[in-house]
Amino acid sequence: MYIIKTDYRSRILTELLNAILTRIIDEEQGIDEVEILADVSKTSEDIIAGYAGKLYDIVPEFSKTAGNRNYQILNWAINIALYLLYQRIEDYDVPQKVIKNYDDTIDDLQKRSTGKFNINIPPYIHECESEECADENNTLRRIGTAKMRSHTI
């Protein structure tokens, strides 16, 4: 699990997080706190990987623990996970700041997925044997739709 319970302290009081978890447990009989937190952590990871996985080698990041994690990615994961936790309870209980943090995170991820901003992790290297994609590992990533210029006169 990439996000641990103590990571949420940067966004929400522990007492409020416990109250939300208790309410979810009461509403969704047969589930416990560990399952809920694991579910929202995994969903967060999948959302981030969906946006960043094409340009960045994101999978090894999710196996890191404690201070070895990339704090920008952890920040995004917490924003998404907290939003997902609130989505499991009544709509009127979702604070505007949680919605704003989620929207900002998704906006950031969309920018990263198009190469408009970098994440401080290694790029994704395609493992390919065919000639069609053999060149992909050694080319520049271009932003935009302009044709490549010819340098011939």
With respect to residue 151, please indicate whether it lies within any of the assigned structural domains. Answer: no
With respect to residue 146, please indicate whether it lies within any of the assigned structural domains: no
Number of domains in the chain: 1
Evaluate whether residue 148 is within a structural domain: no
**Assigned domain for 143 exists:** no
Domain assignment present for residue 128? The answer is: yes
C-alpha 92/C-alpha 74 separation (Å) is 27
- pLDDT score, position 148: 62
* List of residues 6+ apart from 127 with CB closer than 8 A: none
Pull the structure tokens for residue 12: 């929400």
Residue 5 has pLDDT above 50, yes or no: yes
Q: Is residue 147 part of a domain?
A: no
d(CA 57, CA 47): 14
> Is residue 152 one of the residues assigned to a domain?
no
What's the pLDDT at 139?
46
Name the pLDDT band for 140 (thresholds 50, 70, 90): very low
Q: What residues make up the domain containing 30?
A: 5-138
More confident residue, 34 or 122: 34
pTM greater than the 0.85 cutoff: no
111 pLDDT band, cuts 50/70/90, is: confident
Domain assignment present for residue 145? The answer is no
Closest CA to 141 of 116, 111, 109: 116
Contact between 142 and 132 under an 8 Å Cβ cutoff? The reply is no
Q: pLDDT tens, 66-110?
A: 889 989 999 999 999 999 999 998 767 789 999 999 999 999 888
